[in-house]
Amino acid sequence: MTKLNSTVDSANSIESMNTSRWSSINAEYVARMRLQNHFKTGIDIAKYTASIMRQDMENYDKDTSQYTQSLGCWHGFIGQQKLISIKKHFGTTKRKYLYLSGWMIAALRSEFGPLPDQSMHEKTAVASLINELYTFLKQADARELGGLFRELDNASKENKSEIINKIDNFETHIVPIIADIDAGFGNEEATYLMAKQMIEAGACAIQIENQVSDEKQCGHQDGKVTVPHADFLAKINAVRYAFLELGVDDGIIVARTDSLGAGLTKQIAITNEQGDLGDQYNSFLDVEEITEKNINHGDVMISQNGKIVRPKRLPSNLYQFRKGTGEERCILDSITSLQNGADLIWIETEKPHIGQIGKMMDEIRKTVPNAKLVYNNSPSFNWTLNFRQQVFDSMRDNGSDLSAYDRNDLMNEKYDDTDLAREADNKIRTFQADAAKEAGIFHHLITLPTYHTAALSTDNLAKEYFGDQGMLGYVANVQRKEIREGIACVKHQNMSGSDMGDDHKEYFAGDAALKAAGDDNTMNQF
C-alpha cells in the first residue's frame, strides 16, 4: 500500500469521519494536508535533523568525501530558495544544511537596527529566525506536494502510479540548522534558557564560543577575550541539559575556540594542583617574576612553577597571553571541549590555509582520534589574495621564476589570466574536498554569503533600472534569467502560497470556492 493510500485509510479510520456531521470532510484531502505538514513541532524537527546529522558524522568518519556544507541565511525566504535550488540542481538535500549566523542576526534581524557581531541583539532573535526558517521550509514541502497532488488529479490512469511514487518518495526540504548562540548571552542559566528556545524552534545543533559574554567580538575582529575552560564547560553542560530535557538526546554541540586570534583573558583560572586545567590555562599568561625590587602596590600575583609571578595586566583590567601561543591554546581548548561534552569543534582562523588547520587537527586527533571540525569559509578572508600568495610561496620554494609577479599586488586584475591565478582558483575550487580529507573538516559553511549576494544583486538592479537600461535592466537581468533558468519564484504568486490557498478553498467550500488561479491570473504567462 502506498504512503498516500495508507494515510487516507488512517484518516478514514477516525471515528467521526463517516458520520453525517462530518459528511463534507474528504478523507483524501485530510491525508494530503497531513502529508504536506509532516512536522508538527520544532521538537519533531530537532529530533529528525539531529539523527540526520549524527548519521552524516558517522559516514564522514568512514569516508572524508562525505563532508557536509551549509550557507548562512538571514531570512526564511532565503533559506527556502536555497533548499529549493539544491533540490532542483542536485535532486537531493543530503549533506546540505543551513547555518544561522549570529553576525547576520545582529546586522539584519535586530530591532535596534544594524549591529556589529558583539551579542547586543535581542536574545529571542535567534530562536525567532530558526522558527521562521522552518516555517518557510515546511511551506516549500507543502507547495511541492501540492503541485504533485494537482498533477495526480489531472493525470491519466496509466500515469497516476508514477506520480504516486513521487509522493511516496518525497524528500523534505527540512534539513539540520547549526545555530549560533554566540558566547551564551550571559551566565550558564541564561545559556540554558536560550538554548531551550532554539531547540524548541527546531535547532538540532548549537554552536557556542569561548569568549566572555559581555565583551564578545566577531571571530575575525580584534579585541577578543576568552574565558577559562571551567566557565566554558559549564555552558556546554547547560546546552546539553537543554537538549536532554526536551528529549533531543542526539542534539549536537559545536564548541568554537577563538583562542587563535584572542590575546586576552578577563580571568585568571582557578587551579588546585600543578598541571590541572586551570594551571594549563594560566601557563599561557604573559608574566614576569616578582622580586623585592619590582613589586608594586596593587599587583596581582600567582605562583607558577615554584616562582611568584605577575601576570601582565592592561589598563582595561584584562590579562594578556604570551604572543605565539594561539595554536597551543586552540589545541587545548578543542581537546578539552571534546572530552567534556562537545560533539564537534570550530577553530576560527585568520586565513584559509589547509596546512595550518591540518597541523592543529593532527595534534587534537592524537588525543581524540575522531575529532571533527566545523569550519567557516569566511567572507572575511580575501580568498583570491590568500590563495594567490600561497601559490606564489609554493612556486618560490620550488625555485620558479617569479619575476612577473608582485606578491603584495596579486589581487591586481592583470594577473587574472596567469598560470599562478589559475592554479590558485583551482585550489579554491577544491578547498572543501581537500580540507575535509587533510584537515578533518566535517562541515564547511559560509557565514555571510546571502548578505553579500543580496547586496551585489541589488546593486546590479539599481544600476540598470535607474540608469539607461530602465525596465530592460529588470527584464533582461532578472525576469528573463528566472524563466530560462527555471527559478521557482518567477511564479511569485505560487511561491507565496496562492495555489495552496486555492486547494484549501476547494477542500473547505467545494464548488463555491472563489479561486485566484483563473484565466485572468497573469501568472499564466509563465
Sign of the four-CA dihedral 458, 463, 468, 469: negative
106: burial class by Cβ within 10 Å (0-12, 13-18, 19+)?
Answer: buried
Residue 144 neighbours by CB under 8 Å, 6+ apart: 170, 173
What does the angle CA 209 – CA 214 – CA 215 come to, to the nearest 5 degrees?
A: 75
Nearest to 9 by CA among 37, 34, 28, 29: 28
What's the CA gap between 35 and 4, in Å, rounded?
Answer: 8
Would you state the cell numbers that stand for residue 368, as one nine-digit string?
A: 581524540
- Residue whose C-alpha cell is 526558517: 133
- Laid out side by side, the sheet with 287-289 consists of 287-289, 307-311, 302-304
What's the CA gap between 301 and 317, in Å, rounded?
Answer: 14
Distance of CA 398 to the CA centre of its chain: 38
- Residue whose C-alpha cell is 516549500: 140
**Residue 237 one-letter amino acid:** N
Contact 493, 516 (CB under 8 A): yes
Would you state the cell numbers that stand for residue 143, as one nine-digit string?
A: 507547495
- Bridge-based pairing of strands 205-209 and 252-257 is parallel
Cα radius of gyration (the chain): 27
Torsions phi, psi for 88 (to 5 deg): -65, -45
Kindly write down the DSSP assignment for every residue of 203-247, as one continuous string: -SEEEEESB-STT---TTSS--EE--HHHHHHHHHHHHHHHHHTT
Of the candidates 73, 204, 218, 330, the residue annotated as catalytic is 218
Nearest to 46 by CA among 250, 203, 241: 203
What's the CA gap between 142 and 2, in Å, rounded?
Answer: 19
Residue 475 neighbours by CB under 8 Å, 6+ apart: none
**Residue 117 one-letter amino acid:** D
What's the CA gap between 99 and 71, in Å, rounded?
Answer: 6
Active site residue 218: yes
Nearest to 348 by CA among 286, 267, 255: 255
451: burial class by Cβ within 10 Å (0-12, 13-18, 19+)?
Answer: buried
Q: How many CB atoms lie within 10 A of CB 346?
A: 23
Per-residue b/e over 28-55, b at no fewer than 16 CB within 10 Å? ebbbbbebbebbeebbebbbbbbebbbe
Query: What are the residue numbers of the active site?
Result: 218
